[in-house]
């Protein structure tokens, strides 16, 4: 996954602002570019386990998809944070994944982002494989 510094900074800021809860959003780039240059925050609709679960608000997803369609952009993947846990795809993450989409996970410990890793699902529902992450 290739991402601009600005896009990664936006993901990290969202994770730190949302700590100690999981935050989520979409990774966006110009059609056909394969490079994440923008992000969009999506509301986490989980309320009872938001410290270790997320579900993206479907209305946010539809709105963002329409905005991208109207602007010549595409959704390249999704991001979410792991508060006080490693930036590794969990079983739940894999089970809820879609094939060929990039999933960026950031580890946020005590309110500060420590690291990030990217993954791609081999097929819908996983398993997930590591995806090299290039920021710049």
Mean pLDDT, the chain, whole residue set:
97
Confidence at 92, pLDDT banded by 50, 70, 90? very high
Handedness of CA 101, 102, 106, 107 (dihedral sign): positive
Q: What is the pLDDT of residues 50-69, one digit of tens each?
A: 999 999 999 999 999 999 99
Q: Give 37's pLDDT tier (boundaries 50, 70, 90).
A: very high
Whether 77 and 101 have beta carbons less than 8 Å apart is answered as yes
The answer to whether residues 54 and 26 touch, using CB atoms and an 8 Å cutoff, is: no
Name the DSSP letter for residue 122: S
What's the domain count of the chain?
1
CA 70 to chain centre: 22
Quick one: pLDDT at residue 84? 97
Total-model pTM:
0.96
Residue 6, domain extent: 2-135
What would the two tokens of residue 84 be? 């006080």
CATH number at residue 38: 3.40.140.10
């Amino acid at each position: 996954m290739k991402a601009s510094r600005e896009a990664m900074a936006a993901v990290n800021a969202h994770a730190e602002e949302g700590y100690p809860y999981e935050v989520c959003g979409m990774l966006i780039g110009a059609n056909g570019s394969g490079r994440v240059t923008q992000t969009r925050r999506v509301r986490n609709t989980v309320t009872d386990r938001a410290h270790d679960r997320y579900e993206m608000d479907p209305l946010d997803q539809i709105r963002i998809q329409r905005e991208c369609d109207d602007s010549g952009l595409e959704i390249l993947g999704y991001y979410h944070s792991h508060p006080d846990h490693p930036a590794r795809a969990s079983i739940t993450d894999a089970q809820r994944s879609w094939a060929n989409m990039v999933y960026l996970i950031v580890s946020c410990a005590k309110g500060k982002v420590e690291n990030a890793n990217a993954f791609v699902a081999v097929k819908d529902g996983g398993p997930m494989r590591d995806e090299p992450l290039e920021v710049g």
